[in-house]
Structure 1
Amino acid sequence: MDELELLKKQWQSSEQKLPKLTYDDIYKMLLKKSSSIVKWIFYISIAEILFWTLLSFMVPESSTKFSDDIGLHNILVGVNVLNYTVFGVFIILFYRNYRKISTTDSIKDLMKNILRTRKTVKYFVIYNVTASVLLIIGINFYYYFNQDIVFQFMTEDYGITNISQERFMKMFFVIQILFGIVMIGFILLFYRIVYGILLRRLYNNYKELKKIEL
């Protein structure tokens, strides 16, 4: 049983010998819990961008060379610049939400800030999932319309021989599709577990605040 539930039991019990907790006490506890949740959302978003940055340094040199050879370098640089810019905007928004909730002095404002934070997180998740799907689809369309170049550099860079271009490209796209499904599945699972838990807790606080307001 968490701290808030214990306080509610104390508040509702008529047999308590200690002084009863007021609406203000419950509000302060909800404010503290909400502020902590939003702070974690802010920290996790920073950890996420650091994770993807670290992962980019672990890409094999052969994969980077292949992307450069078939003309994807400038496209990927542009996509990365866009993603880092959007990530930066969301991190700023998360921090602003945290500051607003931390300094809130009324139930109505706290409820409004909780809803704003939930909406910001949902937009963040939608952007990341949509951007990942579009990137995977876009790159594979590029591969599809440049199959000759893809096959040429794959045979040169990876020493692939004794296989026809048609058969190789079929296998190549099957692997790409499977990789894309696994990648998107991982992202969705991560967001559902991490942000899903935090948003549910935040919404529970909102419902408790609504009871107090009534």
Structure 2
Amino acid sequence: MDQLEVLKKEWQKREQELPKLSYAAIYSMLLKKSSSIVKWIFFIGIAEMLFWIAILFFIPDSQHKILVEMGLHKISIYVNLVHYVVVAIFIFYFYKNYKRIRVTDTIGELMANILRTRKTVRYFVYYNIGMFVLSTIAVNLFFYFNMHHLYEVVDLGEQALSEEKFQTYFIITQLIVGLAFLGLLMLFYWLIYGTLLKRLNRNYKELKKIEA
């Protein structure tokens, strides 16, 4: 076999190996990027839970007094405990998703783990928004049907209002504050988790191209 034939065979061999090397490099890069995104989801979930727990320590004494006088103090403690247990479970799943993605060996497994992570994050966001809406509605309905007692409990100081005006102002204020807070919460989730999920989705699409 002459030298030219040897060179041709060597070149053909390299051409066959090149796509494999290229796919392996792309997969490694997508694995690293996906793992980093899921790690950030895990860290942000922890930070979010710690933030809301910290806020509980800054609630004014007057607010605590209203909850105690209205008979909601113990209920609010139980609801918060259950809520944070559920949030902790979600964070545990974020951690599991992160550990699972880190040791993924195949494209199919990585794609499945990305889908699993996206689903977990969506459920987490839906749960938090749903919990806020339901708890806000429940508390305000309780206040509405116990408005006379609430009027007696709330210290209006020198700016005393009639019970009718107090009821009107209370409903309007709660509605505005509730909607504003809901809007901020949804904006936060859209900016933070929405951005991370979009990046994961891009990685998923790239993996689909490689798999094809």
TM-score, normalising length from structure 1?
0.88
Q: Secondary structure at the match of 2:192?
A: helix
C-alpha displacement of 1:164: 1.1
Report the secondary structure of 1:22's partner residue.
helix
Shift of residue 70, structure 1, vs aligned partner: 0.8
Deviation at 1:38, TM superposition (A): 0.1
Structure 1 runs, 4 residues or longer, greater than 3 Å off: none
Find the counterpart in structure 2 of residue 197 from structure 1: 195
1:102-159 Cα offsets, whole Å, 9 max, x none, are 00000000000000000000000000000000011000000011011100001xx342
Distance (Å, rounded) in 1 between the aligned partners of 2:183 and 2:137: 15
Q: Does 2:80 align with 1:80? A: yes
Where does 1:108-119 land on structure 2 (aligned, <5 Å)? 108-119=108-119
* Larger CA deviation: 66-75 vs 126-135: 66-75
Structure 2 unmatched runs, 5+: 1-17
> What is the alpha-carbon distance in structure 2 between the residues aligned to residue 134 and residue 32 of structure 1?
39
Of the two, which has the highest radius of gyration?
Answer: 2
Residue type at the aligned position of 1:116: R
User: Which residue number in structure 2 is paired with residue 37 of structure 1?
Assistant: 37
1:145 aligns with 2:145: yes
Deviation by residue 1:78-111 (Cα, 9 ceiling, x = unmatched): 2101111100100100000000000000000000
Structure 2 Cα separation of the partners of residues 160 and 93 of structure 1 = 52
The C-alpha deviation readout for 1:37-66, integer Å capped at 9, x for no partner, is 000000000000011011111111111111
Shift, 1:160, TM fit:
5.5
| In the alignment, structure 1 residue 54 sits paired with structure 2 residue 54 | yes
In 1, the alpha carbon distance for the partners of 2:160 and 2:69 equals 22
SS of residue in 2 equivalent to 1:104: coil
Distance 1:86-1:116 versus aligned 2 partners, 3 A rule: same
* Count of residue pairs brought into register by the alignment: 194
CA distance in 2, matches of 1:72, 1:207: 49
**Equivalent of 2:167 in 169, 175, 179:** 169
Secondary structure at the aligned position of 2:71 is classed as coil
Deviation at 1:161, TM superposition (A): 5.2
Q: CA deviation at 1:162?
A: 4.0
Gaps of 5+ in 1: 1-18
1:206 to 170, 189, 204: 204
- Tell me the distance in 1 between the aligned counterparts of 2:162 and 2:50: 41
Name the amino acid aligned to 1:177. Answer: L
Secondary structure at the counterpart of residue 105 of structure 1: coil
Partner Cα distance (2:185, 2:79) in 1: 18
1:90 matched to which residue of 2? 90
Correspondence for 2:186: 188
Q: Distance in 2 between matches of 1:86 and 1:175?
A: 30
Q: 2:104 is paired with a residue of what secondary structure?
A: coil
State the percentage of identical aligned residues. 50
For 1:151 and 1:88, how far apart are their aligned partners in 2? 37
CA distance in structure 1 between the aligned counterparts of 2:111 and 2:142, rounded to whole angstroms: 46
Q: Which digits, 9 at most, give the CA deviation of each residue in 1:168-204, with x for residues without a partner?
A: 1110110001010011001000000000000000000
TM-score, normalising length from structure 2? 0.89
